[in-house]
Amino acid sequence: MLIIGENIHIISPTVKTAVKDRDAKTIQKMARLQVEHGADMLDLNIGPQKRRGVEVMDWIVDAVQEVTDVPLSLDTTNVAAIETGLKKVKRQAMINSTSADPDRLNTGMPLAAEYNAKIIALTMGKSGIPTSAEGRVEMAMEVLIPKAMELGIPMADLYLDPLVLTVNGTQEHGPETLNAVRFFKQLTDPPPMTVVGLSNVSNSVPHENRSLINRTYLVMLLAAGLDSAIADPLDEKLHEFIRIVEERDTSTGLGNLLVTFYDKTAAMEELEPSDVDMSDPEQVGVWKTAQILYNKVIYAHAYLRM
Amino acid sequence: MPVTVQLPKEKWTGTVREVTLGAAAAEGGTRKKIVTVGGESTLPFLTFEGEIPNRPMVALEVQDRYPDDWSDLLKDVWGDTMQDAAAWAQKAEEYGADLIVLKLQSAHPEGDNTDAAQAAETTKAVLAATGLPLIVYGPGQAEKDNEVLVASAEAAEGERIALGNCEDKNYRTIVAAAMAHGHLVVAKTPIDVNLAKQLNILISDMRLDLDRILMDPTTGSLGYGLEYTYSVMERLRIAALTGDSMTQQPMICTVGEEAWRAKESKVNEGVPEAWGDWDQRSINWEVLTATTLIEAGADIVVLRHPESVKLVTKAISDLMAA
């Protein structure tokens, strides 16, 4: 499981100010902290940066590589900025991202081939994100994978991203995104890689509920074959869930539940009340969150209390 | 060879709550008619797999000031009756409405800005003029809604009226007034299943019984977002039938307000000839919006035109008999 640290993101006011002031110290501190907390790669989201993209990417890649040698994910829609970053990186980088929209596909994908980079390919076209798993898979199969093959990009470097959307408002996407990951892994041999922007699943959810929704969904995604996630490495509870399912640690009640949850999801089954110790609040939290993510119970901010 | 076809039947586990509006003399009110909605244990009109104990109900809207901004067609059909809320309500009862919706529009701060005393007086006058159960709305401005609805609730003590709207940021005062005087509330959310459920939770956290809450999912009229309302209502109803307790409230749709806002019904100047007869088109606009939402699970539709009441009531009878 590859964790791509998401915290250097232009939407964060701290990052925005640091980028504007070229305050390398702040960015470097964030980079180090994420790596110390288990980030395998760092996402550098500089926003679209239409005018200053090249300049900003040039600066931020240097700043981050001064303090860490984990690979970098270059996150912007500015193609020139990505190319600048690709020229500077010391290790194989990731392009974040391209999509099935021809304008982005025909500029992003050739860069990955030219610079031997990994690339995230979103199953999204000009007209938006398909609602169903099938729609996403079709886009991967008919547009993204053929293009990568044509350019000689190995499947091990192609990261298909089915686009995770929030349970608060687009709940019906939850099971579809999960199944898309499952189907992506069956499309080719060797299979393509898969990635999600995990935290999106809890966008516009009150802060105290976000981590539980993120880590519960991650267990399901891992069971469906997810290889990597752009996520918050500082979330210790997220690491704990990953550790439990990776080590199959059933020494606790929660561990038992999560391993069952993982196995059942892998077998395309769902948790049942008999799998859960309803006297354990942590297990009940996972159970209720699973009902939300299965799209069986309508999400409301107070869903854990019900 | 004859083939036997097994009729597929869903086994629903949940039931919509029954909500009763109006109280007769025995319960401390003065209503001649009591209306109960909800109670469905199946999708609209699918009685082969569940019960529909109560048919959808039709309300007519009256206001406590002459609605200058309404379509001329509505002004023509109601005439001078619209000068007086009590007379208007009485007429609405004659036209076959099951319920009266009273909108205290005169209280709007940017309009006549009438006060709580006026709201209480109007509420009493309308209750005296009709034997139907009453739903009262404020002018739709949070502070003023609180002021006039509290007065209405007090004036209608014992009558089991419904007070609307309770919204996300503005529900406490109205819920408290309903609890103090034995009334119901209308919980309104902007075409969003998550918020609809959350608001029901917040209201029930204040300990108002769940059989005193109607949900208003926010109506989009025909051609202006009807399909969004439709799918939100369908989703809420399916959740209710599958046992999600906080979605099991009957639904009310303010059809007239939205349908008569559409250009197709409101005016006849500068519209294409192909749109056809104005009168017929406008009524169709209201009736089609109403019947479509009844198919999505509406338990109460609030209308404005008497002819629409007749047509929608007929459609409901036919659907219940089918």
Instruction: Give me the interface pTM, i.e. the ipTM.
Output: 0.85
Flag whether residue A206 sits within 8 Å of chain B, measured between CB atoms: no
Q: Per the CB < 8 Å rule, is B242 touching A306?
A: no
**Angle (CA) A298 A182 A139, round 5°:** 95
Q: Per the CB < 8 Å rule, is A306 touching B246?
A: yes
**b/e B15-32 (16+ beta carbons within 10 angstroms → b):** bbbbbbbbbeeeeebebe
Q: What is the pLDDT of residue A306?
A: 83
- Read off the pLDDT of each residue in B95-124 and give the average, rounded to a whole number: 97
Flag whether residue B235 sits within 8 Å of chain A, measured between CB atoms: yes
Backbone region of residue B40 per phi and psi (left: phi > 0; alpha: psi in -120 to 50; beta: other values): beta
- Chain B interface disruption, residue of A172, A292, A297, A298, most B CBs within 10 A: A298
pLDDT at B277 over 80: yes
Q: What is the pLDDT of residue B293?
A: 98
Each residue's pLDDT tens digit, B237-271: 999 999 999 999 999 999 999 999 999 999 899 99
Percentage of residues in chain A with pLDDT exceeding 70?
Answer: 100
Each residue's pLDDT tens digit, B299-312: 999 999 999 999 99
Nearest C-alpha in B relative to A292: B194
Percentage of residues in chain A with pLDDT exceeding 90?
Answer: 97
Q: Which residues in chain B have Cβ-Cβ distances shorter than 8 Å to A300?
A: 194-195, 197-198, 201, 246
B260: amino acid identity, one letter = W
Q: What is the pLDDT of residue A179?
A: 97
- Read off the pLDDT of each residue in B47-54 and give the average, rounded to a whole number: 96
Flag whether residue A306 sits within 8 Å of chain B, measured between CB atoms: yes
Rounded Cα–Cα distance for residues A138 and B189 (Å): 36
pLDDT at A48 over 90: no
Q: What is the pLDDT of residue B294?
A: 98
- Chain A interface disruption, residue of B192, B194, B232, most A CBs within 10 A: B194
Contact B197, A298 (CB under 8 A): yes
Q: Per the CB < 8 Å rule, is A298 touching B239?
A: yes
Q: What is the pLDDT of residue B248?
A: 98
Flag whether residue B232 sits within 8 Å of chain A, measured between CB atoms: no
pLDDT at B160 over 80: yes
Q: Which residues in chain A have Cβ-Cβ distances shorter than 8 Å to B201?
A: 300, 302, 305-306
Q: What is the pLDDT of residue A236?
A: 97
Q: Given pLDDT bands bounded at 50, 70 and 90, which one contains residue B1?
A: confident
Q: Per the CB < 8 Å rule, is A298 touching B192?
A: no
Q: Which residues in chain B have Cβ-Cβ distances shorter than 8 Å to A302?
A: 198, 201-202
- Read off the pLDDT of each residue in A116-134 and give the average, rounded to a whole number: 96
- Read off the pLDDT of each residue in A42-51 and give the average, rounded to a whole number: 93
User: Which residues have CB under 8 Å from B3's CB, separation 6+?
Assistant: none
Q: Which residues in chain B have Cβ-Cβ distances shorter than 8 Å to A168?
A: 194
Instruction: Please give the model's pTM, rounded to 2 decimal places.
Output: 0.91
Note the helical H segments in A128-229: 133-139, 145-150, 173-184, 207-224
- Read off the pLDDT of each residue in B182-204 and give the average, rounded to a whole number: 97
The chain-wide mean pLDDT, for chain A, equals 97
Q: What is the pLDDT of residue B159?
A: 98
The chain-wide mean pLDDT, for chain B, equals 97
Each residue's pLDDT tens digit, B126-153: 999 999 999 999 999 999 999 999 999 9
- Read off the pLDDT of each residue in B101-117 and give the average, rounded to a whole number: 97
Q: Per the CB < 8 Å rule, is B247 touching A298?
A: yes
Flag whether residue B254 sits within 8 Å of chain A, measured between CB atoms: no
Each residue's pLDDT tens digit, B207-223: 999 999 999 999 999 99
pLDDT at A301 over 80: yes
Closest residue by Cα to residue A169 from B125, B232, B27: B232
Residue of A169, A296, A298 with shortest CB distance to B197: A298
Nearest C-alpha in B relative to A204: B194
pLDDT at A264 over 80: yes
Residue of A299, A305, A306 with shortest CB distance to B194: A299
**What is the residue whose two structure tokens read 């959307």?**
A165
How far apart are the CA of B217 and the nearest CA of chain A, in angstroms? 14
- Read off the pLDDT of each residue in B17-32 and give the average, rounded to a whole number: 97
Flag whether residue A166 sits within 8 Å of chain B, measured between CB atoms: no
What length is written for chain B?
A: 322
B50 CB-contact burial (10 Å; exposed 0-12 / middle 13-18 / buried 19+): middle
pLDDT at B322 over 80: no
- Read off the pLDDT of each residue in A181-204 and give the average, rounded to a whole number: 97
Flag whether residue A299 sits within 8 Å of chain B, measured between CB atoms: yes
E strands, A36-170, are 41-45, 72-75, 94-99, 118-122, 158-161
Closest residue by Cα to residue B63 from B100, B32, B97, B35: B100
Q: Which residues in chain A have Cβ-Cβ distances shorter than 8 Å to B192?
A: 169
Q: Which residues pair with B300 in a beta bridge?
A: B57, B252
Q: What is the pLDDT of residue A152?
A: 97
Q: Per the CB < 8 Å rule, is A306 touching B235?
A: no
What length is written for chain A?
A: 306
Q: What is the pLDDT of residue A20?
A: 95
